[in-house]
Structure 1
């Protein structure tokens, strides 16, 4: 039997990305002779999709301009990343490498449309067995579509997967897919029912322990 899989969210779980995304948007808009409005910044901080952010920033602009800005964003992000050092969350690189070495199937499931840029920057592309990005799904999180596709690409049943998330939308997506979820946070968010699902830091031993609970019907609450 294939080992249970671990599926990571990207932004806020593997990488500290919000401020870098902001810089990339500012660069793209500046090069187009535009300023990036304050009202769109909160959408960036909440990890909203590129099309959503651009529509919010310039609602009356032509579809052609919006598409041009959207297509320029990945290159701008890559340029921003080149001038920065480590962008990973504490423990992320070590945890992914240790889990990969242990033979655990690993996936990244994200609304982002440029996850490979971050994985290359972190040096963990080889450890990730499957990637589900924004363009792969019809509906973004909180829809379970991305997590179900991630499990399918790992060839692991969803109920034998552990998802690691940091947002309410991500938690809803993974739980709706039938997965256990570990929420990366220092304190219990108001929307999280059980503090047992908290994970203060990415750590391979802790992740493996929680992954084993997906194989134990008593520990996972299933009979």
Structure 2
């Protein structure tokens, strides 16, 4: 198994970056402002699995673009920004040195990617980044992962996808990739079936 793995694709939010609080609390603010009602933090956690604009649509906002832009504004004003999970600096460096191709396949918008991920300086190690604007369809559809495989110039069976949601698992299986669960960012693992369960980012090094 290990010898067949030539690339790893990563989700971002809940996998590489801890962005839960910086997304949920501003979303609560937006809902209160536009709908005049409060939704608990826990009841909004399920939306972490979806692209931002899809979340806005699912919640029933009338003007998707305007409400999304306002949410992004509140996110970027929030005092606690994205935080890199411990261990990823070492993980990316070692994967790069081993010749493992690295990519990102995320539902995050490019502008937010530049705000949240680029400051980590880990982008110097990656071969491709597939973001929300790059595909017509998003996870759990496999299109972003398959585009990642194409850009890495690898067969899907030679790639592991690392993510934290059931949408990540479904997309991996449909794409023909092995799935590694980032349990540190997972809200509920009971419905997720993974090829590998990772307890910490450094565990990634044990599956290649």
TM-score, normalising length: structure 1: 0.74
Contact 1:96 1:127 in 2 (8 A): yes
Aligned twin of 1:54? 56
Aligned twin of 1:88? 84
Q: Distance in 1 between matches of 2:126 and 2:179?
A: 19
Please identify, of 38-47 and 154-163, the stretch whose mean Cα deviation from structure 2 is larger: 38-47
Any idea what SS the aligned residue of 2:160 has? Answer: strand
Q: Distance in 2 between matches of 1:137 and 1:40?
A: 32
**Which of 81, 88, 102 does residue 106 from structure 1 map onto?**
102
Offset of residue 176 of structure 1: 1.2
Q: Distance in 1 between matches of 2:189 and 2:201?
A: 17
Offset of residue 15 of structure 1: 1.0
**Which of 52, 67, 70 does residue 69 from structure 1 map onto?**
67
Any idea what SS the aligned residue of 1:176 has? Answer: helix
Aligned twin of 2:200? 201
**Which of 20, 23, 26 does residue 25 from structure 2 map onto?**
23
Gap regions ≥5 residues in structure 1: 212-223
Distance change (3 Å), C-alpha of 1:79 and 1:129: farther
Output one character per residue of 1:54-97: Cα deviation in whole Å (capped at 9) or x when no partner.
234444x3x3xx312323444443333xx437712232232123
Q: Distance in 2 between matches of 1:43 and 1:84?
A: 18
Q: How does 1:125-144 map to 2 (within 5 A)?
A: 125-144=123-142
Aligned residues: 199
Aligned twin of 2:190? 190
Gap regions ≥5 residues in structure 2: none
Q: Distance in 2 between matches of 1:36 and 1:125?
A: 40
Contact 2:15 2:162 in 1 (8 A): yes
Any idea what SS the aligned residue of 1:46 has? Answer: helix
Offset of residue 144 of structure 1: 0.8
Please identify, of 85-94 and 150-159, the stretch whose mean Cα deviation from structure 2 is larger: 85-94
TM-score, normalising length: structure 2: 0.79
**Which of 145, 148, 151 does residue 150 from structure 1 map onto?**
148
Distance change (3 Å), C-alpha of 1:36 and 1:198: farther
Q: Distance in 1 between matches of 2:40 and 2:131?
A: 22
Output one character per residue of 1:75-121: Cα deviation in whole Å (capped at 9) or x when no partner.
443333xx437712232232123322333211111122132322123
Please identify, of 17-26 and 138-147, the stretch whose mean Cα deviation from structure 2 is larger: 17-26
After superposition, the CA RMSD in angstroms is: 3.0
Distance change (3 Å), C-alpha of 1:57 and 1:167: closer
Larger Rg: 1
**Which of 166, 169, 172 does residue 167 from structure 2 map onto?**
169
Aligned twin of 1:78? 76
